[in-house]
Amino acid sequence: VHNNPVVTLLDYGAGNVRSVRNAIRSLGFDIKDVQSPKDILNAERLIFPGVGAFAAAMDVLTQKGMAEALCTYIKNDRPFLGICLGLQLLFESSEENGPVNGLGLIPGVVGRFDSSNGLRVPHIGWNALQLMKNSEILNTIRNNHVYFVHSYRAMPSDDNKDWVSSTCNYGDNFIASVRRGNVHAVQFHPEKSGGTMLLFLDCTSGQVIACLDVRTNDEGDLVVTKGDQYDVRENTKENEVRNLGKPVDLAGKYYRDGADEISFLNITGFRDFPLGDLPMLQVLRYTSERVFVPLTVGGGIRDFTDGSGRYYSSLEVASEYFRSGADKVSIGSDAVYAAEEYIRSGVKTGKSSIEQISRVYGNQAVVVSIDPRRVFLKNPDDVDFKTVRVSNPGPNGEEYAWYQCTVNGGREDRQIGAYELAKAVEELGAGEIMLNCIDCDGQGKGFEIDLIRLISDAVNIPVIASSGAGKVEHFSEVFKKTNASAALAAGIFHREELGIGSVKKHLSNEGIEVRLTPY
Ligand code: 1PR
């Protein structure tokens, strides 16, 4: 019998470590899960992919007696790799919901990035490392470009300079990795950094995201579909759901083509209970086995009572998505209700899906998907919502517009604008905004620049521009004219009118930094 070498994995159950598991397996290791402190002490090599919030992780580690075992293991210079929060926990304390004490192995306090001068937080994206000392694990990363997603970071100082093996610049120079003897920890996500097979040529400021709208067709098969202003049915007598392919296959193709992230939207999630929708969970499981860039999933994230009266919180729904392989969840309708309630009462109840999920999994795991419709106005004072002077006047010469939010896949209008919603959800703890526009969806005429500029200037969290891409120039336009961090498209990729590679090549030629892949 051939036994694979074993990696011991410390997974305390607070989030998605599926991609770490898959990456470990793809390198030919078997995984042994830590059940007790003894498993830590006996590990031959230990990987600790920290997920969730600092305080919650420390609580679990302390309660289970694992904090002490970890300290002993690390002090004995046993082979160790901490990832993300698995790096932060090694420090003395964190300001995240704190101060909260950490394991205290490395001098320093983990603090939040300072967003007061316009820096977007969380820091999400591919960035270059500045190597400070030799660390074999960094040598496997070509051109030093790696994927980060975090709001908190530790800073290099005289006290911890023995540890720091690389730094990265985002607003300030923070610790990207540490190394002492056999102990390694990284703030970035090696399991999401394309593996060693990807050639990173430059650092990103424009990310390209492929979006897969998924739903069950009339035959009961889960298909990737695509709307025309959100109408996904064909214009035929049968009126069938447009079918553009299989979700797992397409996600794999887009990953190989160089997508920086893949989004799945379960577009009928607002009416079907997603935990009843096992195929979607299966899609995530399969995809995360072969796609090593971040996966976002949305649709139906809200509190729910099923047919038998069993209540599920939105947190439970999201947890199931994370366990199945999602890195982030995207909330549509429920974010609108939460924002309306927050604006009305001025009170953060802590109970909304955004607050619950970000508290446990961190802000960077919570995306809010906005589905606005443009409403032209003759006079900006006609509404109480934020308006813009439009670049292209409306059908009756209107020079202004506001962007009205909708719920249930655009089926119901609400009395809240995209601007008001974006500000409110940022305050409630959303870490990113996926900004669609129903008018532009599927039209191929370009992104709604006025809207994207309005929102990307209004918030400090990253904004993904979505809806309307039809040619490569639309991508460069949105990065040049707005502060969007990423551009998302669906139809043109599904219909193979444009490849992700050619979009990135164009962006690069236009002087916009992208992560290029060797394919
Ligand atoms: O409300 O939390 O259950 O979430 C539902 C999610 O499903 C929301 O994120 C909402 O945007 C999405 N959704 C609902 N109905 C539709 C539909 O099309 N009928 N799809 C829908 C939204 C829009 C974009 C699309 C871009 C780019 N899809 O994601 O991919 O517009 O398209 P293009 O490049 O072809 O122009 P909840």
| 334 Cα–ligand 1 center, Å | 14
pLDDT at 116: 86
Counting from 1 in the atom list of ligand 1, the atom nearest the Cα of 302 is 2
Least confident interval from 151-165, 232-246, 329-343, 505-519:
505-519
Cite the active site residues: 84, 189, 191, 213, 371
pLDDT at 1: 44
Determine the residue of 223, 267, 317 to mutate for testing ligand 1's pocket, defined as the one with the most ligand atoms within 8 A of the Cβ atom: 267
Residue 40: band (very low, low, confident or very high) from pLDDT cuts 50, 70, 90: very high
ipTM of the complex: 0.98
pLDDT at 73: 95
Q: Which residues line ligand 1 (CB under 6 A)?
A: 211, 213, 226-227, 230, 232, 265, 267, 269-270, 298-301, 330-334, 369, 371, 409, 436, 441-442, 466-469, 489-491
Average pLDDT, the chain: 89
Residues in the chain: 519
| 284 Cα–ligand 1 center, Å | 18
Counting from 1 in the atom list of ligand 1, the atom nearest the Cα of 269 is 3
Residue type for 503, please?
V
pLDDT at 368: 98
pLDDT score of 16 more than 90: no
pLDDT score of 22 more than 90: no
pLDDT at 74: 94
Q: Which long-range contacts (CB under 8 A, 24 or more apart) does 225-231 make?
A: 225/267, 226/442, 226/490, 226/491, 226/494, 227/267, 227/441, 227/442, 228/441, 228/442, 228/443, 229/410, 229/438, 229/439, 229/441, 229/442, 229/443, 230/371, 230/409, 230/410, 230/438, 230/441
Q: Do 409 and 267 contact (CB within 8 A), yes or no?
A: yes
Q: Do 513 and 203 contact (CB within 8 A), yes or no?
A: yes
In this predicted model, what pLDDT tens digit does every residue of 114-158 receive, in sequence order?
988 888 999 998 888 888 766 656 665 656 688 899 999 999 999
| 34 Cα–ligand 1 center, Å | 39
In this predicted model, what pLDDT tens digit does every residue of 237-246 receive, in sequence order?
989 999 999 9
| 213 Cα–ligand 1 center, Å | 6
In this predicted model, what pLDDT tens digit does every residue of 187-217 receive, in sequence order?
998 877 765 322 222 223 689 999 999 998 8
Nearest CA, atom 31, ligand 1: 467
Q: Do 122 and 150 contact (CB within 8 A), yes or no?
A: yes
Nearest CA, atom 16, ligand 1: 409
Q: Is 84 annotated as a binding residue?
A: yes
pTM, 2 dp: 0.72
Least confident interval from 122-136, 167-181, 200-214, 444-458:
200-214
Q: Which long-range contacts (CB under 8 A, 24 or more apart) does 350-354 make?
A: 352/428, 353/301, 353/302, 353/303, 353/314, 353/315, 353/318, 354/425, 354/428, 354/429, 354/430
| 171 Cα–ligand 1 center, Å | 33
pLDDT at 77: 84
Q: Is 436 annotated as a binding residue?
A: yes
